[in-house]
Structures are given as structure tokens and as C-alpha cells.
């Protein structure tokens, strides 16, 4: 023990052990997601969403301040619960990681979307789209559905896997659960609709901040792994540098532009949600994505997710 104290102080061994424990929990949780996917019943994230809906009946007002209180209560309570789980070690971290990841479900949905489009089942593809994003599927043809799916896979690769893993590496179980609360609230109320334009402002801005680093890590991994789907890293980086800043989201623009460049396709354009229409900037060069490009997007998402868990594990073990 004297040697430990000379080398790094009394807390050094404990910090090393914590980093190794966190890394092991992240890798094990990632494996659980790969094997089992999301729980079909009693999913904790669904329970959080139900609780948020109930609380909204009390906190809602057409003001930014009301939305900030809503955000603070829910994210604060979830993060505090994460602090309470820290004593659970590897098992608690693994279960929390499995709870917050959605990588296998994302890949499975992307492949099923490609299967339906390839078979000409446009109605079936429309029914599946809400599992990926909040766009209005009824106004989309097969090409529009393919583009929506590619863009959603790019963004959700970051949101559903890369970001929670990185926050887990940084802050353990509080980071995992706190990030998922932030991202879930953004998906629920972070819209520019009449109801949520002001109430959802805090949820959208906090989510932007939480994803600043993860989105850029996702962009770098997408560029580095572009050759896995026949793309070129230089094309992904060029699309990122040239086009990402034109996107209304500081993070979605990065991951979507990098994906467009890696695939050699053009994303963006007219985007219709249930609450209205947004005209998105063009991202990347080349033709609009087809079904084959959607399958390539799924493959690069899988590769990026694997790269993310390795990055998070190394990051955890290097913490001092």
C-alpha cells in the first residue's frame, strides 16, 4: 500500500478499479443489448416516458421556465437514481447500459425497413417508420422512406449508442441514466410545434449540449469506417466540413453529413413532420439514397457502435 501512495495518492487504486469496473460494465451491457435487444415489456425507458407524461400535466405551461422546471425535475431525479446504483459495480453498470442502449433495435428496424422497401411493401415501410423517427410517413414514397431511414439511422447511431456509452465512460451509471433521460425528453417535447415551441426549449437545448462531443465522435468513427461499406474517409470528412453547419441541429448535421459522405449519397431537403414542414439543407453529393444504401447505412452503424464501445472502454480505463 505504501507503493500505491507514493505513486499516486490514497485514491489512485480506487480510481483505477472504478475505471476498470466501468469499462467491464459498459462492454457487458453492450453485449446484453446485442444478444437480447430492448426488453419487450416493462422497459425502464418506457416507464420514464410514462412518468414524464404524467408530470407534464402538472408542469406544463406555454413558457420556457416551465419547461426548464420539467427538465430539471426529471433529469435530476434520474441522475440521482444513477448515483444510488454506483455501489452495484460491474453488474449495475451493465444493467444500466443495457437499459439505455438501443443499438440492436435500431439495426433490426433498419434491416426490416430495407426488406419491406425491397419487396415493394411501401405501406408496411410507412407503418415501420415511426419506430425510427417522428416524420409523417403517409406523405413519403419509397425513396422518401429510404432517405428518412438513412438519416434516422445516422442520428440514432449517435443518440442510441455512442452518446450513452461515452457518458457512461465519463460518469458511470449517473451518466448513463442522466443522458437517456435528457435524450428521451428531447424526443418527447423538443419539437417546434405550437405546444412545445417554448415548453420544449430547455429539453432541446440540453440535448444539444449533451450530444456535442458524442456527435463528433460518431462523425469521426463514421469517416474512419467508411471503407467498410465501400466509402472513402475523405468524402465523409469533406461533407461534414462543408455541409454540417447548414443543418438546424448542431449535432444531427454532423452525423448525417458524415453518413452521406461515407455512402456517397445526398441527404436533406423537404422534411415533413406531423407538426409541419422543414426545408433541410443538402448534405453530401450524389444521388438520393436507395434501398441498397439503407443496408449500407445499417452496416456502418453496426461498425460505429462497436467502435464506440471500444472507445468508451478505453476511455474508462484511462481515467485518473
* pLDDT of the residue at 280: 79
* Phi, psi dihedral angles at 271 (to 5 degrees): -130, 120
Global confidence as pTM: 0.90
Looking at the predicted structure, is the pLDDT value of residue 7 above 50? Answer: no
* pLDDT of the residue at 42: 77
Closest CA to 113 of 293, 291, 296, 300: 291
Looking at the predicted structure, is the pLDDT value of residue 96 above 60? Answer: yes
275 or 242: whose pLDDT is higher? Answer: 242
Closest CA to 216 of 179, 182, 167, 253: 253
Looking at the predicted structure, is the pLDDT value of residue 146 above 50? Answer: yes
Beta strand ranges found along 224-318 (DSSP E)? 267-273, 276-283
Mean of pLDDT values over 257-275: 86
133 or 97: whose pLDDT is higher? Answer: 97
Q: How confident is the model at residue 133 (pLDDT cuts 50, 70, 90)?
A: confident
Q: How confident is the model at residue 106 (pLDDT cuts 50, 70, 90)?
A: very high
Looking at the predicted structure, is the pLDDT value of residue 118 above 80? Answer: yes
Residues 19-47 pLDDT 10s: 889 999 999 999 999 999 887 777 899 89
Question: What is the SS3 assignment for 279?
Answer: strand
- Report how far residue 25's alpha carbon sits from residue 13's, in angstroms, rounded to the nearest whole number: 18
Residues 218-257 pLDDT 10s: 999 999 999 999 999 999 999 999 999 999 899 999 999 9
Looking at the predicted structure, is the pLDDT value of residue 266 above 90? Answer: yes
Question: Taking all residues of the chain, what is their mean pLDDT, rounded to a whole number?
Answer: 91
* pLDDT of the residue at 276: 62
Q: How confident is the model at residue 213 (pLDDT cuts 50, 70, 90)?
A: very high
Task: Tell me which DSSP letter residue 120 carries.
Answer: T
Cα–Cα distances (Å) from 137 to 46, 122, 126, 242, in that order, read 23, 10, 5, 29
Q: How confident is the model at residue 320 (pLDDT cuts 50, 70, 90)?
A: low
Amino acid at each position: 500500500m505504501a507503493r500505491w501512495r507514493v505513486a499516486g495518492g490514497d485514491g489512485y487504486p480506487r480510481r483505477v478499479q472504478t475505471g476498470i469496473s466501468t469499462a467491464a460494465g459498459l462492454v457487458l451491457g453492450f453485449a446484453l443489448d446485442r444478444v437480447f435487444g430492448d426488453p419487450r415489456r416493462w422497459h425502464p425507458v418506457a416507464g420514464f416516458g410514462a412518468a414524464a407524461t404524467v408530470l407534464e400535466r402538472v408542469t406544463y405551461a406555454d413558457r420556457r421556465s416551465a419547461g426548464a422546471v420539467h427538465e430539471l425535475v426529471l433529469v435530476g431525479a434520474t441522475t440521482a437514481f444513477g448515483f444510488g446504483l454506483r455501489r452495484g459495480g460491474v453488474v449495475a453498470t451493465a444493467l444500466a447500459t443495457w437499459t439505455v442502449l438501443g443499438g440492436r433495435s435500431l439495426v433490426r428496424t433498419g434491416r426490416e425497413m430495407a426488406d419491406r422497401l425491397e419487396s415493394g411493401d411501401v405501406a408496411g415501410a410507412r407503418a415501420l417508420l415511426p419506430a425510427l423517427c417522428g416524420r409523417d410517413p403517409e406523405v413519403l414514397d419509397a425513396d422518401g422512406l429510404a432517405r428518412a431511414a438513412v438519416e434516422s439511422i445516422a442520428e440514432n447511431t449517435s443518440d442510441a449508442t455512442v452518446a450513452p456509452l461515452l457518458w457512461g465512460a465519463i460518469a458511470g451509471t449517473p451518466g448513463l441514466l442522466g443522458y437517456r433521460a435528457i435524450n428521451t425528453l428531447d424526443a418527447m417535447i423538443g419539437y417546434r410545434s405550437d405546444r412545445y415551441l417554448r415548453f420544449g426549449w430547455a429539453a432541446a437545448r440540453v440535448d444539444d449540449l449533451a450530444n456535442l462531443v458524442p456527435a463528433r465522435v460518431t462523425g469521426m468513427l463514421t469517416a474512419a469506417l467508411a471503407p467498410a461499406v465501400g466509402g472513402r474517409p475523405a468524402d465523409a470528412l469533406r461533407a461534414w466540413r462543408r455541409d454540417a453547419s447548414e443543418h438546424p441541429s448542431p449535432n444531427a448535421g454532423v452525423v448525417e453529413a458524415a453518413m452521406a459522405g461515407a455512402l456517397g449519397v445526398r441527404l436533406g431537403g423537404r422534411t415533413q413532420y406531423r407538426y409541419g414542414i422543414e426545408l433541410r439543407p443538402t448534405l453530401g453529393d450524389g444521388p438520393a439514397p436507395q434501398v441498397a444504401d439503407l443496408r449500407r447505412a445499417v452496416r456502418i452503424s453496426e461498425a460505429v457502435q462497436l467502435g464506440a464501445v471500444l472507445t468508451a472502454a478505453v476511455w474508462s480505463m484511462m481515467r485518473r
